[in-house]
Every structure is written in structure tokens, then in C-alpha cells.
Structure 1
């Protein structure tokens, strides 16, 4: 079958009768002559056809010849012609015996070597009116010359003085390239696609549109072409385009064996079936594997659909794995940190798919080699690779994450087990790749949850940190730089470990009593501010608190209660420092700049609480922690702080009618403050409403409290001088300072241990019954009584110890329960019945505010 399109020609080309011509989409026609066309060529004036060794020529209409001639067979005596190339006014013929025949006179110029194509293994070349295209053995297409009509395919209309790879085609199974006067055609064998780019005149691009295309664009060929025929020959003339098709044979075995000497070989199900069934010799199988897996073009053609990053993902049989490993190793070694063309980076997407199917040991080794090669890429190539990652399907992206997460987990597991034969730097390489992917997911808003990046083996490593301190300290310092890889509880442990190590490294130039805060309960806030103003506190060391007139040494219990009580005092600043919103959350008072030092000390106190691993019970919104981490608050953050206000703005954005928006009579002001110059003169319309909402949110969280936040953050950094808290997400930092919002009371019972009693004792059963029946307020009072704070630690009650000690004293009925706050120990007298236990416990948690025991 022969397809043709472009300028009008004699109907049927003289090869068939006019009524035998089939018409497809976009003006593409096809004919099936009785004598098969073996070769075709077209120039400005002639089109030539070879059938059974005989040549026929059709004169084409042109500027000085307004109709098509008849198809004429040339008289060539005994010469059997196998090739014809039509030029401007004539043609050159190549006979089977090697004889060259010309139809007209021509001038021959001295050839000039194109040095930039050296070592490109060029297998064919085609020249158009003012441009040239070449095809390399690996399937790479280069073009150069005039680009004014987009015929070079470089996404521009610029001329190119040196051969440049057509990036959009790199990695595709390009089998032919041919140039017309101002357009170029390319055929892709594996997908049976033909691509065109360049001049649109007279429809010769075959895209059905009168527009220029400066990147390769696929044709809409007749449906029959894709189903029954394979492309044999592609020809671009001056104003015409031809595609010669042959019917595919039904012999499957013949089709399944590739010709390894012709271009690129692609992996398919028939080939894999032959490998598995071993119908061919191992030598043949090995040669095919090497051909497919050691060529970038073959890999791209095997695993990628044309111009899409979708994977066929054929399973590699076990018999072939060792050979695949070898050729993948060779390919990894040959990867260039400065790849030619964007499409060459597709290989970095395919290789992980191959590697992740291999056995564990080889998989880890090859993953490390791939990570090294990715990290060696130049910055521009990094950006292109990240762009490709952002467009991958979710399952591909997740498998990429899984590959490097598994490799990281294996190394962390070996480190925690004391097996240090692996270089710890390999771990950092894996984590750097994971970080790149994580940032791509965040910036592209991909639906890949954070939990997919978490390496749970980090928790096991932290369990062994004390026994293998030197090695694991190095590992933790590496993990600290990649916080996305750890869950919140593990990051809290890392934060405390690194903070303790840092405290030990800070010289103690103060005496033992300098960091001792002595305060009265009645004047707690005043005493605290007076202490901080003395500027004698060493913020790098731990804080110790003593309540004047009370016994007890601070082993975290007293300081925990201190911050809990201080939170209540700080809320009394609401009129000049903090203001409570409708959500019961607090935000900086925009009119509170007369007390700017108070904002500073508020930040100091919050920083000190974080640094000393205590909680502040002040309802700051998530926006505060975003700002501390240099992230921008959004409309959703405003909805958390002021739901009604935010819902009004969302309704504004969702309104479809211009008239309704206009009737709101809004301008670019908020509470009397202009959002932009002359904002009170600029109405909010449907066209500018998004800008208004963005400026509104920015005003609430930034402009209106800019100075207040600056003083707060200055104090926060002072109170928490160890900046490792930046490893947390905003939600995690909020939980770290506020405590967990989840009160799982059953978990408190599950994590309890017992001394001089057991969970099956009647007294213990009564205790848990009484606690479960308390109101939520009294349950929180019990937490304050037991721990000095009602905040739940990050990770829940299981992260806090609870030991119940039975006191079998003779006067038990007269005693109250006692708490050793620093140790999370509850001393419970042996009460005779559940009612006595209930009454004594209520009294203890309601009125016992003084520490009498350590």
C-alpha cells in the first residue's frame, strides 16, 4: 500500500484507477497497485516508482507546469533498478549491479566533512531545500540548516549552523528520516507512527491544519495502516509526502526474531516468551539481551510509548537476570553527566524500573551506582530530570520512592546491627535522591503522601544509639538533614539526642545556680520576666525551676508545671499582646506595638519550652509555625483562625455571577487598611478577586503584624538557640510545642506498669474504672497532678511512663494519692472500696497544687 498527501496529483498516480483510491482523514489517500511498489522518490518535478525492478516516472505540476503528466516507464534495457532519488529537475538511479544512472545533467560539488557528526555512527542522511537531517545507528535524529519554517524540529524557527539532536525524538525507535523542501518526516517503527514538522503549505504535514509545526507532530493515518501494514519507505518531496507500506506477514515466529543489524531492537512479549521457553540458543538470547539493555535508544523504545512517560513494564525472566545486570552495569558506567538533549534523561527513569526487579544485593549496588550518576548530573540536567519526575504517573513515582527508600532502609538496618562494611556515605546519596523526589512531589502537588518517604528503620537505629554512640551519632547527623524520612516521634528523639550532644559541647561558664529560676506561684509571670531581663540565663543549658516555699527538686516535673501555669498567665496578655479569635485560637494583636518587648519575651518563653522539651498551652494557629519555618500561610490557615471570615472569602472566589460580586461593594481595604495604593478607590471584581483574597490573607498574617512577629521570632531563636527544630513540618512543630491534641485514655492504661501490685488487683481495677468515669476536665486535672502538665506527648501516652505504686500503710483511708511528677509515678494507698478511692482522687487532683515529694 502507498499513502500520499500534499499538493494535488493525478488521481491514483497512474498506478491504479481513480475509483480505487481510498481517502482517509486530513486529505491522506492510499492506493494498492496490483504490482507492489518497492521504492518511491519525489522531487520538485518528478515522482519515481520502482515495481519489480522497473522504474516509472510521473511528472508533477509545478509553477511552470500546471498539470500532472502520465505515468511513464523508463526504458532501461537489462538494468534492474533498486533505488531512485528524485532531485529538482531530474533523478539518479542505482541498479542492482551498482551502476548509477542519471535522468538529467547535474553539477557535482566537492564534499565537505561535517566534523560535529564524527562518531555519531550516521546510517542515513537526507537533504531538503535548505536543511539536512541525519539518522544515527542508535536512532538519534540530528538536523541543521534553515529553520525558518520549523523544519528542524527544535521548538523554534531559528537556523542551526551545526547538527543538533531533535530532543522530542530522542529514545524513540526512529527508523527513517527524510527532508522535503521546507518540511521533514520521521517514521517510528515500533508505534507505526509518522511525525512531521515544518512548513504547512498545501497540507504536506498531514496534520489537517494550515499551521507551522516546529516540533514533531504525529500524523492521523488511515486506520488500516496501523492494523495491517508496516512502514517501509517514507518520502518528502517539495510539496508532497509519501509513505510506502507493506502488509505484515502472519508468521509470528518470523516477526518475533529481530534483525540485530538493523537499527534498534525493542523488547516485546514474543521476545520474552522465546527467552523463557528457551526456543533459541543461549548465545542468541544473550545477544538480544545485550542489544536491548545496553542501548539507550533500545531501552526507550522498549519501555516508553511515543512521547509519553508510561511504562510497558514487561517482566524480566530469571534466566536473563544475570545478563541484564551486566549490561545495566555497563550502561551505568557510560552515563554522561552532561547528556546530549533532554530526551536522553529518559534513561534515568527507565533504569530504576530495571534495577528494582533484581535481587536484593545487586539491586542495592546498582541503586547506589544510579544515585551517584544522578547526583553527578549538571544543574540544567537536574532540572529536566525533575520535570520528568513531576509528570510520571503516580505508580511510577511511588516505585521510584520505594527503590531508594528500600536501599536507605537496608543500610540503616546494617548500621543499627553494627555491620559497618557499607560506606555510610552511600546512605547520604540515597537520601539526597529521595529529597529531590520529595521536593518534586511538594512543588507539583502530587498525591504521594509523606508516609511513603518515611523509613521506619530509623526508629530501630535510635534504639541502639547509646550502645553504638559514635557510629550512630554520625548517622543521626546525616538523617537530620533529611527530615522527610523520619516520622514525628523519631524526629523528636533525634532532636533531643542532638540537643543533648550539643549541650555537652557548650562550655559551662556559669555557676550551678545561674540557670535556677526561683518563682512564686502568685507572681509567676512577673518573676519570670524579671529573671529574663537580668540577662543571666544560659539558654544553651537546661532550665531548672524552684517554687519558693515548696520542697522538691526539678527533675523535669517542676519545670513542666511551670510552663503549664505560665501559659495561663500569658493569655492574660491578650489585650495588648494576644487576641482571641472566634476559633478560640490566638494571634498577635495588630495594635499592640506599644508593648514590643512583650512580644520578644513571649517568643523567648516559647523557645525555652521547646528547647527544654516542655509544652505551652497557648492556642497558636498553624500559620505561626509556617512563618517560623519561612513558609507562607494560606486561605486555609485563615479558616483555622477565623472560620467565618475565611468562608466569606471562599464564597467570593466561588461566585459565578459578576453582578453578585459587584453588589458586595468590596474594595481593596481590610478594616480600614489599604491593601494596595489607593485601594479604597479600586472595587473588587470577578477579574481581580483572587488578588484581593491573596492580599487579604497576606495582610492578616504578615503586613498587619510584621513588627510583632519579628520581635517574637527574635525571642524564639534566643530561647531555643539550637536550630535543629527546623527539621519539623509546621504541623509537627505545632504539636511539639502544644503537645498532641489526641487524648487516647485507653492507651494510658495500656502503657501503665505496676509496683507491689498488678493489673488484676481489685484496687487497680477500681482505679481505672474511676478514671474512665471522670469528666474530660477532671481527666486533664489528673494529668496535671501526675505529670505537671495536661499536654499529651508527641506519639501519645505510650511515649510517657506511668508506674502505679501500691502503698500498703495502716492509715490508708486517711491518706491522699500522691504523685512523683518527675518520674510519672502514682502512689496509691490501699483503699477499702471504690467510693473512697473516687473521693480521695478527686480531692487530690483538685486541691493538691504544691509539691511535697521529689
Structure 2
């Protein structure tokens, strides 16, 4: 049965003889069509019907601007069978089985929309003069008039006669589209609502009346579990999963149902329908219908001037009231679909032997395709070439679309409706099981890998319209997990890293917030995936198998982000999971005589700069050994260096070219002198340095000390200035803790630990308040005693004062200098203790390792001269052994990995006056020229003298 009311139309719409339409006892007319009506749509000036055989008939309701019904005419569809129709002002879109779209013009002539051919469209929508189409892979196309931005393509964009992809919604898995007069809406699978176009009365629900030229999220509908959107000419209604109705926009005719005729700029619940569990809604030009399925009641409200409210009157109505159905209707009559279109209302009720088209359901059309077990099971079955060809096409369609992947693996409960930057809405266990199942057939997994790498990842942009579009970055690591098990997926990992680093700052922050709430095992998988690839690349770079600088940078950049948020997680993983032990080999693997190798560290973050640009460009620094620090300060202040270039140091009145050895000795000297400056002071307990709290924050001295430390780091020279780990934590944006105070000032830290452990009465006897050295830790801290309740706060504030507030200006100057002196910012990729070790070097001496790494020229390990040398060396005191390192390498500090990472080459020098000569060290190359001494005693005397008086470079 089909019931209708409203604007005068031809009785029965031409579907039946006029005298067969029952209009005697009610404001509502009804009849039983002779043939099945699968679907119908009502526009401003026409109505269309899809017959049971897939053919379409349309009727014009206004001809030449007059209310005048035309005849019901069948359309020439060229054998196409239609399953969905949508009507605009004078036009219509028809969606055929198979996904093809036809456009019907004013003359009722239908033509295929060729730009959409082969795209498998699943939904269509018409505004007055604009059109929308959604494909099964989640792409949304718009075309038509763009006077108010209703196409969503941007301000100033012209109208378009051909479909244009709406790129700003890429990655959002869409469930439904809807078009009003000059405004448009799209609904995601997890209930996010996006609106754009005309907003003259607030019909976009954004709190204002400004038109929008791009899709904009309606934040007031977030987490409301929206499942359907209906658009009128200037108002909008939404339906939640629980049956709640929200309306907004023009209220002049009462079409919002809020017991007023006022416009609403934000979504507002229709209170009169609260608790009724509405199952369908529909918007006409200025009226609204709502169906409560459980009570089989239709409610209407809004403009009733043409009788379209079905209440027997022709007045406007601002509250929902039940439609007066004809007495002839069965009280148990079930309505499959309600349609409010133009100034007409229609309700369809199927016969008991009929099945209404699926468009009548609460979720009217299928949305973006998603991955599920049934599809995977079909792919992994053994099949013939024809079936496999179909599977490959499906894999390409699915895995080339971010929307399809983002709509997959959602939480089966309603949690996914709460998707935000705080919650992904995913059940990653489903993703893990799916990819493990895909891996059971290698050809399928290989095809998936290829499509993701070649099509999906390159399609990802730098911005997203919402949190649902970020799910791809949580799902793909599960694919990488199964690929890594098979020693595959390295380049896919690199591509994913590049996509992550390409995100704009706000989008990147949203992703990092999702990472902080990622379940422990999936977060650990994420870290392990990028960590293992970074180790692989670093190993290959160390052994010079391949040159993967750019790729390594991308991987390390993501690892840095993951490490940054690790401490913010409730269940963080151990810092050791981020530690890359190969980093030591990486930085010491280059041949000192290899210019490219020596510039590796400097070029690390400047990957686009060709090596030849740096060759011949360097910073020349001439200093007096006795006043090295003062000379360096003067040079930096009066003639600043280009810190991106290599450093070459010369000591005044000393011979020797700097191939790396002179600068090592230079930074060793500076490290010693910095400890004696007034800018820092040593802790009485530990001897470690910290900023002098009495130093003015305006002084340049700390800035230039920071510059020098940065230069040492970027030039790969060791300089132990004696700061604690807390300094490096602060440089990396981490907060020092009580454990850091234990390193700097053990006695002070022990006292604070006692405060945390003492009983209440003991705390009272200590008479502590919230001050430190006369300074309030909080406002009026002198008047606030430390108690058992607030002692943790006291300790936290105490530590914060020591490391932060008391030295805020001093640290700021140092950090600015460190960053300027080391412009590549590569240090930000490491852990605090790694940065410390890379700047300080290590002091763990396994002296046998030096002998193991030694090589010889003009002699062998078994020669008497060499045997005597090692006998003398191992008999030296540890202090003299360290002096030997300074003699050989310019510093007693060791690279990560210890002595085994050094290059020691002993060259036997044959000369007649050997017993009168001293050993000579080529510091830059780790080469010892050892005369052929006649006996061990002379060798010992000469060696000890050389290492004791070796301070003047080039002179003995």
C-alpha cells in the first residue's frame, strides 16, 4: 500500500486509475499499486518510481513554474536496471545494478555519467542543482552548481559539469551521503558528520551562518552514534543508533520540531520524540517526517500549507504529532519507508508477499567496502586463474583505498562511535587475525604488499578530515608484523615511515595521542617494526653494503616520535626497546682518511646536499693552547662560524694539519677549561657540574658553552664537561626525576627519599615547609608545612626547582647554543644516555681490546719490537695508559663500543739513530711510528717521555 498527502498531484501518481485511489475519509490518500514499487524519490518539481522490473517512471509536478502535474512517463534506460533513484529540482540521478550512474535531464533524457563508469557507485544524492556519488572504495564525487560551496571543492571553485573527487574526505570510510537544497552532508561508518555548502540558517549545525567550502566536521554530533542524515531545503535532521533525532537549520515553518519557529545553529534533540526510538526520518522542502517502527506511528512537523503533514489541516506545526492515518489502514500496518519530498509526504507499506528494497532500512545503503573474514577466506582458497584474477582485482580495490582499510576492524561494540584522537575505535585483535590469515597464502600476501606499497601509501596526504582516517597508521603495522616474520616488508616500512613524517603538525599530534592509548602488545609491535629496520639499515651503512641515509632518517624519525610518547603511556615499554647498539659502530666505522666517511655525521640530516658542496668549505679556527676557551669565545662572538660546515683547528705556533686529531685535542682542552668557568659549579657530593644559579640568564657565556658542546657533537669529537644525565633529558624535552637528583647530589636526594618514607610525627619534627634556600616552591610556601599528605608534591616541586625553575634562564641559553652549534638536530633522534655517551665518549677500558684491534706495517705481531711494546704498555699505570690514548687520539675518552672501536696501526721505523728518537703519533689516523729500539728499556723511557710531554701538537 502507498499512502500520500500534500501538494495536489494526479491521483495515484498515474500508477493506478484515479478512481481506485481512496480519498473519501481522510486527509491522506492511499492505494495499492498494480505492480511492485521498489523505490521512489521526490524532488522539488518531480517524483520518480522504480518498478519491480528495474525500470523507472517519472512525473513532473511543476511545469513552467506552475503547480501542474504531467503524465507519468517511462524512461528510456537502454536496458539498464535501476536500483536507486534520487531527484533534484528538475533532474534525477539513477543508480543501476553494477554501479553505473545515469543522469536524467529536464527533458527526461537519460545519459550515462561517463566519468563514473567502472567505479562501482553505491550511493547517489541530489540537491536542487548539485549531485553526489559514493563509490564502494570510499571515493566521493560531486558536481553541478557550486554557488555556495555545496561541491566542497574550495572557495572560488566554479561549478562543474563533470564529477570531481572530494579529496578532503580521503581516508574517511563513508556510510552515507545526503544533499539538501544547496548544502551537502557525508556520514562516516563511526558516526562522524561532515557538512558543507550553504549555511544561511545554520543548516550545517556549526554554530554560525557562514557558508563552508570544504567538508567540516559537526563537532556537536560527535559520539552521538549518528546512523542517518536527511536534508531539507534549508534544514537538516540526523538519527542516532538509539533512535534519537536531532534537527538544526531553518525553523520558520516549525520543521525542526522544537515547539518554536526559531532557527537552530547547532544540532538540538527533538524533545517530543525523546524515548520513542525513531527508526526512520525524512526531510521535505520545509517539513519533516519521523517513523517510530515499534508503535508503527508516523510523526510530522513543519510546513503544512499544502496538507503535507497529513493532519487534515493546512497550517504549520512546530511539534511532532502523529499523522492521522486512514481508518481503513490496518492498526498493525508496517511502513517500510517514509518519504518527505518537496511538499508531499509518502509512506510505503509492502504487502505480506512483497519485500521492500533494502533502501528502506535504517541504514539505507551499503557504505564503503570493508575487509572481513568472508572476503579473506575466498582469497586464500586455492582457485583457478579466472577466480584468482577476480581476487586480485578485489585486493587492488580494497588495499589501494585508505577508506576501505580505515573502515575495517572496528570494535564490534558501539565503542567505535567514540572515535577521536583519544580512541581509535579499532579492535586490533581482528586486524592481527586477518593478516595472519592472509599470510597463509603467499601469493595473496605478496599481492597485498605490492598494492599497499605502490598504491595505498603514495595516496596518503599530509592532513586528514578526522581521526578515522588515522586508523591506517595503526592497522598497517599488523601487516608489517607478518611480513617481518618472513624477512620481508623493509621498504613498506620505509614508505609508512615517510607517510607518518609527512603528516602536518596537528595531524601528527593526533596520531601520537592515539599511540599513547594503543594497547601494550600492539604498541610494542609498532616499536619493534621500526627498530628492526633501523638496525638493518645501520648495519648495512656501517659495513658500507648500501647507502640508505634517507631511509634511515625516516625510520629514526618515527622511532623518535614513539619514544617521545612512551613516557606518556600508562603501560610504556622499556627504554632498552629503543636502544640501537649498532649506533656506536655506525659513528666509528668510517675510515679516518675517507673524507666522505668523516662527514657522515655532518651530512646526516642534510640529505639533499651533494657531497661536493661541502668539499673545500670548512670553518678555520686558530687558537692559543694556553687560552683556548677564551680565544674560542672571542672568535664566536666577533666572527660567528657556519656550524653546518666541518671544523679545522690550528694551535698557534704549532705544526700539524687537522685531519680530525687536532680538533679532538681541542675539544678535550675546552672540556677541562669549561669546568673552571663561573657559569657552572660542581656538586660537593658527586663532583658533577650544574648551572650556577647565581649566573645571570642574560650572559652570553652559557650560550657559547652550548655552542661548543654542539660543535663537538656535530664534529664527532668527545668532550666530557661533567654534566649529569638530567641535562640531556632536558635537551630532549624530558623531565628530570628524583633519580636524576641522586646522580647530581646523592646526599640531597637521600634526604628527600627519607621525607617520603618518614612517619607523620617525624615529619612534624623536621619542620619542613614548601621552600628551598629561602625561595617559595608554591605561593605562600613558607606557611605550608610538609605533611604525609603533601610530601610527594613537595619532593616533586623540590626536584623541579633544582633542575628547572632555579636555572630556567641558564638552561635556555645553553640549549639555544647547543642547538645552534649542532644544526642538523640529529641528536634529537637518540635517548638521553645515548646523547651523553656520544658527546662524552665512554671511560670503560678493556686494554686487551686495543691489542686485538692493532695492525702492523713493516713488522708483525710476533716481532721482538712489538712484543716489547706491549710488555711496556701493560706495565704502565692506568693513568699513563690514558695518557697514551691522548697521545694517540687526542682524547682519553672512547667511542661507544670502547677500545675495540679504535684504529691502532703500529709502523716500524728503521733508522740508524733509533735509540735517540721518540715514538711519533699521527693522531688523525691512529698511527704510531715506532723506531726500532735496541732494547726494551730504551723503548720504555722514550714511550713514557713521549706520552708525558705530548701536549704541544706536532712538537716533541
Question: TM class by shorter-chain length?
Answer: 0.5 to 0.7
Aligned to 1:43: none
Aligned Cα root-mean-square deviation (Å) = 6.1
Deviation, 1:646, is 1.9
**Distance between the aligned counterparts of 1:377 and 1:610, measured in 2?**
29
Q: Tell me, what secondary structure is at the counterpart of 1:805?
A: strand
For residues 465 and 808 of structure 1, the distance between their equivalents in structure 2, rounded to whole angstroms, comes to: 26
Q: Which residue matches 2:522?
A: 396
Match of 2:651 in 1: 546
* Higher helix content, 1 or 2: 1
Query: Closer, same or farther in 2 for the Cα pair 1:183/1:479, shift >3 Å?
Result: farther
TM-score by length of structure 1 reads 0.55
- Residue 846 of structure 2: aligned partner: 744
The separation in 2 between residues aligned to 1:268 and 1:408, in whole angstroms, is 36
Pairing of 1:347-746 with structure 2 (within 5 A): 347-354=472-479, 357=482, 385-401=511-527, 436-441=561-566, 443-444=568-569, 446-447=572-573, 449=575, 480=605, 504=616, 515-520=621-626, 524=627, 528=631, 535=638, 542=647, 544-546=649-651, 556-573=660-677, 577-593=680-696, 599=702, 602-603=705-706, 606=709, 609-610=712-713, 613-629=716-732, 631-653=734-756, 658-709=760-811, 712=814, 720=821, 722=823, 724=825, 726-727=827-828, 729=830, 730-746=832-848
Give yes or no for the alignment of 1:753 onto 2:855: yes
2:850–2:900: 8 Å Cα contact kept in structure 1? yes
Deviation at 1:780, TM superposition (A): 0.9
Please report the TM-score for the alignment, with normalisation by the length of structure 2: 0.50
Distance verdict in 2 for CA 1:283–1:775, change over 3 Å:
same
CA distance in 1 between partners of 2:884 and 2:606 (Å):
39
Give the CA deviation at 1:480. 1.8
Query: Is the CA contact (8 Å cut-off) linking 1:394 and 1:448 kept in structure 2?
Result: no
Q: Which runs of 5+ in 2 are unaligned?
A: 1-84, 89-122, 126-132, 137-173, 178-186, 194-219, 230-235, 243-272, 280-365, 416-426
Measured after TM superposition, the shift of residue 685 of structure 1 is 2.5
Query: Which of 689-698 and 528-537 deviates more?
Result: 528-537
Give the Cα–Cα distance (whole angstroms) in 2 for the partners of residues 181 and 534 of structure 1.
Answer: 75
Q: Given the superposition, is the C-alpha separation of residues 317 and 414 from structure 1 closer, same or farther in structure 2, using an over 3 Å criterion?
A: farther
Contact 1:121 1:136 in 2 (8 A): no
Alpha-carbon shift at residue 813 of structure 1 (Å): 4.8
- Whole-Å separation in 1 of the counterparts to 2:563 and 2:575: 10
Deviation, structure 1 residue 441 = 3.8
Within 2, Cα distance between the matches of 1:751 and 1:370? 40
Alpha-carbon offset, residue 460 of structure 1: 11
Report the Cα distance in structure 2 between the residues aligned to 1:603 and 1:833, rounded to whole angstroms. Answer: 49
Deviates more, 1:538-547 or 1:801-810: 538-547
| Aligned-partner Cα distance in 2 for 1:588–1:731 | 19
For 1:586 and 1:408, how far apart are their aligned partners in 2? 34
1:122-137 matched pairs, under 5 angstroms: none
Give the match for residue 15 of structure 1.
none
User: Are 2:876 and 1:770 aligned?
Assistant: no
Cα deviation, residue 758, structure 1: 1.2
- Could you tell me how far 1:321 is from its partner in structure 2? 4.2
SS at match of 1:625: helix
SS at match of 2:742: helix
Counterpart of 1:318 in structure 2 is: 442
- Deviation string for 1:440-490 (max 9, x for gaps)? 4454373165765869799599969999989x99x99995289xxxxxxxx
Q: Which residue of 2 aligns with 1:787?
A: 889
- Seen in structure 2, the aligned counterparts of structure 1 residues 433 and 606 have a Cα distance that, compared at 3 Å, is closer
Query: Do residues 309 (structure 1) and 428 (structure 2) align?
Result: yes
The whole-number CA distance in structure 1 between the counterparts of 2:630 and 2:456 is 70
**Given the superposition, is the C-alpha separation of residues 368 and 597 from structure 1 closer, same or farther in structure 2, using an over 3 Å criterion?**
closer
Structure 1 unaligned segments of length 5 or more: list them.
1-111, 123-133, 145-151, 168-178, 186-259, 483-493
**8 Å CA contact 1:517, 1:545 repeated in 2:** yes
Per-residue CA deviations over 1:312-346 (Å, capped at 9, x if unaligned) read 23343235446656886887799899878755654
Task: Kindly indicate whether the alpha-carbon contact (under 8 Å) linking 1:804 and 1:827 is maintained by their aligned counterparts in 2.
Answer: yes
Give 1:267's match in structure 2, choosing from 370, 373, 394: 373
Distance 1:659 1:400, change over 3 A: same
Structure 1's 121 and 543: CA in aligned 2 closer, same or farther, altered over 3 A? closer
Q: CA deviation at 1:652?
A: 3.4
Correspondence 1:828 to 2:933 = no
What's the CA shift for 1:697? 1.9
Asked if the contact 1:143–1:166 (Cα under 8 Å) also holds between the matched residues in 2, the reply is no
Note the C-alpha offset of 1:516.
Answer: 2.4
Alpha carbons of structure 1 residues 282 and 649: separation in structure 2 relative to 1, 3 Å: farther
The 1:731–1:543 alpha-carbon spacing in structure 2 relative to 1, beyond 3 Å, is same
State whether residues 579 and 586 of structure 1, in contact with CA within 8 Å, keep that contact through their aligned partners in structure 2. Answer: yes
Distance change >3 Å, CA 640–CA 365, structure 1 → 2? closer
The question of whether the paired residues in 2 share the 8 Å contact of 1:561 and 1:788 is answered with: yes
The 2-side partners of 1:525 and 1:347 are apart by: 55
In the TM superposition, residue 641 of structure 1 has moved relative to its aligned partner by: 0.6
How far residue 585 of structure 1 moved from its aligned partner, in angstroms, is 0.9
Matches within 5 A, 1:796-811: 796-811=898-913
Change (3 A) 1:770 1:742: same
Q: Which moved more, 1:638-647 or 1:301-310?
A: 301-310
Q: Is this contact kept in 1: 2:629–2:673, CA < 8 A?
A: no
Aligned counterparts of 2:745 and 2:815: Cα–Cα separation in 1: 23
Number of aligned residue pairs: 610
Aligned partner of residue 480 in structure 1, secondary structure: coil
The answer for the alignment partner of 2:356 in structure 1 is none
Q: Secondary structure at the match of 2:624?
A: strand
Partner of 2:166: none
Query: CA distance change for structure 1 residues 562 and 428 in 2, over 3 Å: closer, same or farther?
Result: closer
